[in-house]
Amino acid sequence: MLQVNNISFTYPSKEKILHHINFSLKKGEHLCIMGESGCGKSTLLKAIYGLLDLDNGTLFWNDIQILGPKHHLVPGMDFFKYVAQDFDLMPYTSVSENIKKFLSRFYPKEAEKRTQELLQVIEMTKFANEKVKNLSGGQQQRVAIARALAKEPELLLLDEPFSQIDNFKKNSLRRKLFSYLKENNISCIVATHDGSDALSFADKMIVIQNQKIIAKDTPSNLYKDLKQKYVASLFDDVNEFFFNKKQILLYPHQIRVVENSNHKAIIKKAYFKGYYWLIEVNYNDQTIFLNHHSVIEIKKTVSLSFNETV
Condensed to tens digits (0 to 9), the pLDDT of residues 71-89 reads 887 778 888 999 988 878 8
Residue 308 DSSP label: -
Q: Would you call 63 helix, strand, or coil by DSSP?
A: coil
pLDDT at 187: 97
Class of domain 2-229: alpha beta
Q: Kindly give the parts of the chain with pLDDT less than 50.
A: none
Q: What is the pLDDT of residues 185-220, one digit of tens each?
A: 999 999 998 888 788 899 999 999 988 999 999 999
**Closest CA relative to residue 19, chosen from 36, 37, 39:** 39
Q: What is the pLDDT of residue 58?
A: 96
Q: What is the pLDDT of residue 132?
A: 93
- CA nearest to 185, candidates 30, 20, 11: 30
Domain boundaries, the chain: 2-229, 236-306
Q: How far apart are the first and last CA of the chain?
A: 33
pLDDT at 15: 74
- CATH fold of 236-306: OB fold (Dihydrolipoamide Acetyltransferase, E2P) (2.40.50)
What is the pLDDT, as a whole number, of residue 310? 61
Q: Is the dihedral of CA 99, 103, 107, 110 positive or negative?
A: negative
65 C-beta neighbours (distance < 10 Å), count: 11
Query: How much is the pLDDT for 221?
Result: 95
Question: What pTM, to 2 d.p., does this model score?
Answer: 0.90
Sign of the Cα torsion 26, 195, 50, 79 reads positive
**pLDDT at site 203:** 95
- In terms of DSSP H, where are the helices of the chain? 41-49, 95-100, 108-121, 137-149, 167-183, 195-201, 219-224, 229-233
